[in-house]
Amino acid sequence: MTRPRPTLLAGCLALSVACAAPVHAQAPAATPQPPAATNPLPTTTNPDPKNPAIPDIPVPAQAGAAPSATPPAAPRQTLVATPGDANDVDEVSLPAKPAAILAGRAKWEEAVPSLKAAFQRIEADLAKAGIQPVGRPIAVFAKTDDDGFQYDAMIPIAAMPDPKPAESDGLRFGTTPSGRALRFPHKGSYDEIDGTYETLTAYLDAKDVVVQDKFIEEYVTDLNDKADEKLDVNIYALPK
Protein backbone atom coordinates (compact mmCIF):
# COMPACT_ATOMS: atom_id res chain seq x y z
CA MET A 1 0.00 0.00 0.00
CA THR A 2 1.39 3.34 -1.00
CA ARG A 3 0.29 6.45 0.86
CA PRO A 4 -0.78 9.47 -1.20
CA ARG A 5 -1.11 13.10 -0.06
CA PRO A 6 -2.36 14.23 -1.10
CA THR A 7 -33.81 51.08 -5.41
CA LEU A 8 -44.55 63.49 -9.49
CA LEU A 9 -45.05 64.91 -7.30
CA ALA A 10 -47.87 66.78 -9.19
CA GLY A 11 -50.86 68.97 -8.44
CA CYS A 12 -51.91 71.65 -5.91
CA LEU A 13 -55.35 72.07 -4.27
CA ALA A 14 -57.09 75.52 -4.96
CA LEU A 15 -59.60 77.26 -2.68
CA SER A 16 -62.20 79.85 -3.92
CA VAL A 17 -64.21 82.25 -1.66
CA ALA A 18 -67.31 84.23 -2.96
CA CYS A 19 -67.80 87.58 -1.19
CA ALA A 20 -70.90 89.68 -2.29
CA ALA A 21 -73.16 91.81 0.12
CA PRO A 22 -74.68 95.35 0.53
CA VAL A 23 -72.54 97.84 2.41
CA HIS A 24 -75.15 98.44 5.16
CA ALA A 25 -76.10 94.75 5.73
CA GLN A 26 -73.42 92.20 5.17
CA ALA A 27 -74.69 88.66 4.92
CA PRO A 28 -72.64 85.92 6.42
CA ALA A 29 -70.30 84.38 3.94
CA ALA A 30 -71.14 80.91 2.76
CA THR A 31 -68.71 78.22 3.75
CA PRO A 32 -66.43 77.73 0.78
CA GLN A 33 -66.24 74.29 -0.71
CA PRO A 34 -63.10 73.06 -2.44
CA PRO A 35 -63.62 72.18 -6.06
CA ALA A 36 -63.06 68.64 -7.21
CA ALA A 37 -59.47 68.00 -8.05
CA THR A 38 -59.08 68.10 -11.76
CA ASN A 39 -55.75 66.31 -11.67
CA PRO A 40 -55.82 63.79 -8.82
CA LEU A 41 -52.50 62.47 -7.69
CA PRO A 42 -51.69 59.05 -9.02
CA THR A 43 -51.45 56.23 -6.50
CA THR A 44 -47.79 55.87 -7.22
CA THR A 45 -46.99 59.46 -6.13
CA ASN A 46 -44.67 59.78 -3.17
CA PRO A 47 -45.16 62.65 -0.62
CA ASP A 48 -43.00 65.76 -0.93
CA PRO A 49 -40.98 65.97 2.27
CA LYS A 50 -40.50 69.74 1.70
CA ASN A 51 -44.26 70.52 1.58
CA PRO A 52 -46.17 69.26 4.66
CA ALA A 53 -49.50 70.62 3.26
CA ILE A 54 -49.61 67.67 0.87
CA PRO A 55 -50.73 64.48 2.60
CA ASP A 56 -48.78 61.27 2.46
CA ILE A 57 -50.07 58.94 -0.20
CA PRO A 58 -49.16 55.27 0.13
CA VAL A 59 -47.28 53.65 -2.66
CA PRO A 60 -48.69 50.20 -3.28
CA ALA A 61 -46.30 47.36 -3.96
CA GLN A 62 -46.16 46.21 -7.51
CA ALA A 63 -47.62 42.79 -7.97
CA GLY A 64 -45.20 40.19 -9.14
CA ALA A 65 -42.12 42.26 -8.33
CA ALA A 66 -38.96 40.19 -8.18
CA PRO A 67 -37.28 39.83 -4.78
CA SER A 68 -34.41 42.19 -4.21
CA ALA A 69 -32.02 39.54 -2.97
CA THR A 70 -31.02 36.19 -4.43
CA PRO A 71 -31.40 33.35 -1.94
CA PRO A 72 -28.09 31.75 -0.98
CA ALA A 73 -27.12 28.49 -2.57
CA ALA A 74 -27.55 25.35 -0.53
CA PRO A 75 -24.35 24.22 1.19
CA ARG A 76 -22.38 21.44 -0.48
CA GLN A 77 -22.81 18.09 1.18
CA THR A 78 -20.15 15.57 2.18
CA LEU A 79 -20.43 11.95 1.08
CA VAL A 80 -21.52 11.00 4.61
CA ALA A 81 -23.86 13.50 6.30
CA THR A 82 -22.72 12.73 9.86
CA PRO A 83 -19.37 14.40 10.66
CA GLY A 84 -16.57 12.25 11.95
CA ASP A 85 -14.89 12.36 15.34
CA ALA A 86 -11.70 14.41 15.09
CA ASN A 87 -9.94 11.98 17.45
CA ASP A 88 -11.23 8.67 16.17
CA VAL A 89 -11.67 6.47 13.14
CA ASP A 90 -15.17 5.44 12.12
CA GLU A 91 -16.61 2.96 9.69
CA VAL A 92 -19.01 4.45 7.16
CA SER A 93 -20.85 3.43 4.01
CA LEU A 94 -20.08 5.59 1.00
CA PRO A 95 -22.95 6.08 -1.47
CA ALA A 96 -22.29 6.08 -5.20
CA LYS A 97 -23.04 9.63 -6.33
CA PRO A 98 -22.97 10.98 -9.90
CA ALA A 99 -19.96 13.17 -10.42
CA ALA A 100 -17.93 15.13 -12.96
CA ILE A 101 -14.43 13.68 -13.10
CA LEU A 102 -11.09 14.97 -14.35
CA ALA A 103 -7.96 12.84 -14.29
CA GLY A 104 -4.55 14.32 -13.62
CA ARG A 105 -1.03 13.72 -12.42
CA ALA A 106 1.14 15.87 -10.16
CA LYS A 107 4.32 15.84 -8.12
CA TRP A 108 3.89 15.77 -4.38
CA GLU A 109 5.10 19.35 -3.93
CA GLU A 110 2.52 20.49 -6.53
CA ALA A 111 -0.40 18.56 -5.05
CA VAL A 112 -2.45 21.52 -3.79
CA PRO A 113 -2.15 23.81 -6.87
CA SER A 114 -2.75 20.86 -9.22
CA LEU A 115 -5.86 19.64 -7.39
CA LYS A 116 -7.16 23.20 -6.95
CA ALA A 117 -6.79 23.85 -10.71
CA ALA A 118 -8.59 20.59 -11.50
CA PHE A 119 -11.54 21.47 -9.27
CA GLN A 120 -11.74 24.97 -10.80
CA ARG A 121 -11.79 23.46 -14.29
CA ILE A 122 -14.62 21.08 -13.34
CA GLU A 123 -16.64 23.89 -11.72
CA ALA A 124 -16.24 26.08 -14.83
CA ASP A 125 -17.33 23.29 -17.19
CA LEU A 126 -20.34 22.46 -15.02
CA ALA A 127 -21.39 26.13 -14.97
CA LYS A 128 -21.18 26.32 -18.78
CA ALA A 129 -23.31 23.17 -19.10
CA GLY A 130 -25.86 24.38 -16.52
CA ILE A 131 -25.20 21.36 -14.28
CA GLN A 132 -25.61 21.84 -10.54
CA PRO A 133 -22.75 20.68 -8.27
CA VAL A 134 -23.98 19.48 -4.89
CA GLY A 135 -21.03 17.83 -3.15
CA ARG A 136 -17.65 18.70 -1.77
CA PRO A 137 -14.57 18.22 -3.99
CA ILE A 138 -12.99 14.78 -3.89
CA ALA A 139 -9.62 13.43 -4.98
CA VAL A 140 -9.14 9.71 -5.54
CA PHE A 141 -5.47 8.73 -5.49
CA ALA A 142 -4.93 5.69 -7.66
CA LYS A 143 -1.24 5.29 -8.50
CA THR A 144 1.50 6.82 -6.43
CA ASP A 145 5.28 6.73 -6.36
CA ASP A 146 8.13 8.68 -4.82
CA ASP A 147 7.85 11.50 -7.37
CA GLY A 148 4.12 12.04 -7.50
CA PHE A 149 0.71 10.56 -8.05
CA GLN A 150 -2.14 10.04 -10.47
CA TYR A 151 -5.56 11.15 -9.35
CA ASP A 152 -9.21 11.55 -10.31
CA ALA A 153 -10.60 14.93 -9.20
CA MET A 154 -14.36 14.66 -8.68
CA ILE A 155 -17.26 16.96 -7.86
CA PRO A 156 -20.60 15.27 -7.10
CA ILE A 157 -23.58 16.62 -9.06
CA ALA A 158 -27.36 16.55 -8.48
CA ALA A 159 -28.09 14.02 -11.23
CA MET A 160 -26.36 12.35 -14.12
CA PRO A 161 -27.00 14.26 -17.38
CA ASP A 162 -29.29 12.43 -19.77
CA PRO A 163 -28.01 11.66 -22.24
CA LYS A 164 -24.65 11.25 -20.59
CA PRO A 165 -22.11 13.49 -22.36
CA ALA A 166 -19.10 11.95 -24.00
CA GLU A 167 -15.69 12.65 -22.53
CA SER A 168 -14.56 16.16 -23.50
CA ASP A 169 -10.95 17.29 -23.11
CA GLY A 170 -10.42 14.88 -20.23
CA LEU A 171 -13.67 15.66 -18.42
CA ARG A 172 -16.02 12.73 -18.03
CA PHE A 173 -19.03 11.75 -15.94
CA GLY A 174 -19.19 8.79 -13.63
CA THR A 175 -19.79 7.96 -9.97
CA THR A 176 -17.87 8.43 -6.74
CA PRO A 177 -16.33 5.38 -5.01
CA SER A 178 -18.86 3.53 -2.90
CA GLY A 179 -19.09 0.84 -0.27
CA ARG A 180 -17.70 0.20 3.18
CA ALA A 181 -14.93 2.59 4.18
CA LEU A 182 -12.87 3.72 7.14
CA ARG A 183 -12.93 7.49 7.64
CA PHE A 184 -9.90 9.24 9.09
CA PRO A 185 -10.34 12.99 9.80
CA HIS A 186 -7.52 15.46 9.13
CA LYS A 187 -7.75 18.98 10.55
CA GLY A 188 -4.78 21.22 9.83
CA SER A 189 -2.57 22.25 6.97
CA TYR A 190 -2.01 20.03 3.96
CA ASP A 191 1.68 20.18 4.82
CA GLU A 192 0.84 18.13 7.91
CA ILE A 193 -1.34 15.52 6.27
CA ASP A 194 1.53 13.03 6.23
CA GLY A 195 1.07 12.61 9.97
CA THR A 196 -2.56 11.61 9.48
CA TYR A 197 -1.55 9.03 6.92
CA GLU A 198 1.02 7.64 9.33
CA THR A 199 -1.75 7.27 11.93
CA LEU A 200 -3.95 5.66 9.30
CA THR A 201 -1.28 3.14 8.34
CA ALA A 202 -0.54 2.27 11.96
CA TYR A 203 -4.25 1.72 12.63
CA LEU A 204 -4.65 -0.58 9.64
CA ASP A 205 -1.59 -2.57 10.66
CA ALA A 206 -2.77 -2.90 14.26
CA LYS A 207 -6.24 -4.03 13.18
CA ASP A 208 -4.82 -6.23 10.45
CA VAL A 209 -7.07 -4.54 7.87
CA VAL A 210 -6.18 -4.91 4.21
CA VAL A 211 -7.38 -2.04 2.06
CA GLN A 212 -7.56 -1.28 -1.64
CA ASP A 213 -4.54 0.43 -3.12
CA LYS A 214 -6.26 3.79 -3.35
CA PHE A 215 -7.27 6.52 -0.95
CA ILE A 216 -9.98 9.17 -1.11
CA GLU A 217 -9.60 12.73 0.15
CA GLU A 218 -12.80 14.77 0.57
CA TYR A 219 -12.22 18.49 1.19
CA VAL A 220 -14.81 19.63 3.74
CA THR A 221 -13.30 23.12 3.52
CA ASP A 222 -11.88 24.66 0.35
CA LEU A 223 -8.43 23.54 -0.69
CA ASN A 224 -6.77 26.93 -1.16
CA ASP A 225 -3.30 26.80 0.30
CA LYS A 226 -1.15 24.01 1.64
CA ALA A 227 -0.38 26.05 4.77
CA ASP A 228 -4.05 26.71 5.63
CA GLU A 229 -4.37 25.59 9.25
CA LYS A 230 -8.19 25.52 9.00
CA LEU A 231 -8.24 22.86 6.33
CA ASP A 232 -10.67 20.01 7.05
CA VAL A 233 -10.29 16.76 5.11
CA ASN A 234 -11.98 13.38 5.31
CA ILE A 235 -9.63 10.57 4.26
CA TYR A 236 -11.30 7.30 3.31
CA ALA A 237 -9.66 3.90 3.06
CA LEU A 238 -11.61 1.10 1.37
CA PRO A 239 -11.14 -2.35 2.91
CA LYS A 240 -10.88 -5.26 0.52
- Give residue 83's pLDDT: 84
Give the chain's domain count: 1
Does 108 reside within a domain? yes
pLDDT at res. 157: 97
| Host domain of residue 130 | 94-239
CATH number at residue 203: 3.20.80.10
First to last CA, the chain: 12
Nearest to 181 by CA among 221, 205, 211, 155: 211
In a domain, 151, yes or no: yes
- 52 domain residue, yes or no: no
In this prediction, residue 25 carries a pLDDT of 42
Q: What digits encode the pLDDT tens for the residues 126-167? A: 999 999 999 999 999 988 888 999 999 999 999 999 888 888
Q: Is residue 113 included in any domain, yes or no?
A: yes
Q: Has residue 80 been placed in a domain?
A: no
Q: Is 45 exposed, middle or buried (0-12, 13-18, 19+ CB in 10 A)?
A: middle
pLDDT of 21 reads 40
Return the bridge partners of 73, or none.
none
77 found inside a domain? no
Rounded CA separation 2/214 (Å): 8
Low-confidence ranges of the chain (pLDDT < 50): 5-29, 36-49, 52-54, 59, 68
Contacts of 224 (CB under 8 A, 6+ apart): 116
In a domain, 8, yes or no: no
Task: Read off the pTM.
Answer: 0.70
Alpha-carbon gap, residue 96 to 178, rounded angstroms: 5
In a domain, 33, yes or no: no
